[in-house]
């Protein structure tokens, strides 16, 4: 038996050398109007580990852990805002919903139909972050460091818009930081 084998722990060597990178990939993507996403086959029989706010109190994403990889079901992945035609600008939301989406607003709260807001065309994605658990367990990396690393990888992915503003960048960094902190909390329990 080689001496290196007896003096070291093979799992420790693997985690230090081979699993010392993170990879980010969108494995499924859905735009508004397309069929719903299905749970990836790799996650069959695996329950949700935890959930994390993307938009506090409005939108949560589900987190799953399989071996060393983290899967995220993100239900608002770079969702675009709907732009009304120029001849219909300045109309209330209820008008747009009825005319263009064949929907009536649920629970109309106002006596007058004069509320204005944006209509978001929701996009969803299943995201896989390979080898993230190794980084989470290694306390040398802060939550902010890992979040920035994930964000840098996310920016290189094809579904990510190329013209991210600083505000959007910070929003995603804070989200990934919440993901890292939530995962660390769940893994340590």
Over residues 108-130, the pLDDT tens digits come to 555 556 666 788 889 999 999 99
> Do 64 and 146 share a domain, yes or no?
yes
Q: 3-state SS of the chain: helix, strand, coil percent to 5?
A: 40, 20, 45
Give the CA count within 13 Å in the CB-facing half-sphere of 142: 4
The larger pLDDT score, comparing residue 109 to residue 103, is at 103
Q: Does 104 map to a domain?
A: yes
Inter-residue contact 88 to 133 (CB < 8 Å): no
Q: Which residues are bridge partners to 64 per DSSP?
A: 71
> Do 93 and 129 share a domain, yes or no?
no
Final residue in a domain of this structure, among 61, 96, 119: 119
How far is it, in rounded angstroms, from Cα 77 to Cα 32? 11
> Do 105 and 48 share a domain, yes or no?
no
> Do 73 and 98 share a domain, yes or no?
no
Q: Which domain holds residue 70?
A: 23-80+122-188
pLDDT confidence band for 20 (50 / 70 / 90): low
State residue 18's pLDDT score: 47
Final residue in a domain of this structure, among 65, 99, 119: 119
> Do 111 and 155 share a domain, yes or no?
no
pTM score = 0.80
Q: Does 172 map to a domain?
A: yes
> Do 35 and 92 share a domain, yes or no?
no
- Indicate the number of domains in the chain: 2
Final residue in a domain of this structure, among 72, 97, 119: 119
Alpha carbon of 55 to those of 10, 75, 121, 168, 186: distances in Å?
41, 11, 16, 12, 20
In this structure, of 6-10, 23-27, 34-38, 170-174, the range with the lowest mean pLDDT score is 6-10
Q: Does 46 map to a domain?
A: yes
State residue 182's pLDDT score: 95
Rg (the chain; Cα; Å)? 21
């Amino acid at each position: 038996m080689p001496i290196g084998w007896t003096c070291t722990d093979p799992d420790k060597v693997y985690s230090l050398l081979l699993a010392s990178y993170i990879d980010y990939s969108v494995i499924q993507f859905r735009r508004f109007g397309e069929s719903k996403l299905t749970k990836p086959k790799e996650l069959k029989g695996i329950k949700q580990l935890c959930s994390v706010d993307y938009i506090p109190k409005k939108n949560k994403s589900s987190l799953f852990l399989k071996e060393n990889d983290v899967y995220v079901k993100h239900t608002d992945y770079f969702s675009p805002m709907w732009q009304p035609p120029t001849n219909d600008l300045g109309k209330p939301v209820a008008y747009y919903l009825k005319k263009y989406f064949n929907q009536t607003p649920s629970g109309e709260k106002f006596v007058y139909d004069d509320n204005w807001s944006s209509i978001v065309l929701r996009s969803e994605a299943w995201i896989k972050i390979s080898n993230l658990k190794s980084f989470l367990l290694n306390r040398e990396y802060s939550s902010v460091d890992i979040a920035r690393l994930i964000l840098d990888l996310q920016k290189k992915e094809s579904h990510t818009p190329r013209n991210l503003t600083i505000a959007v960048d910070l929003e995603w960094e804070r989200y990934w930081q919440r993901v890292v902190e939530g995962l660390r909390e769940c893994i340590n329990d």
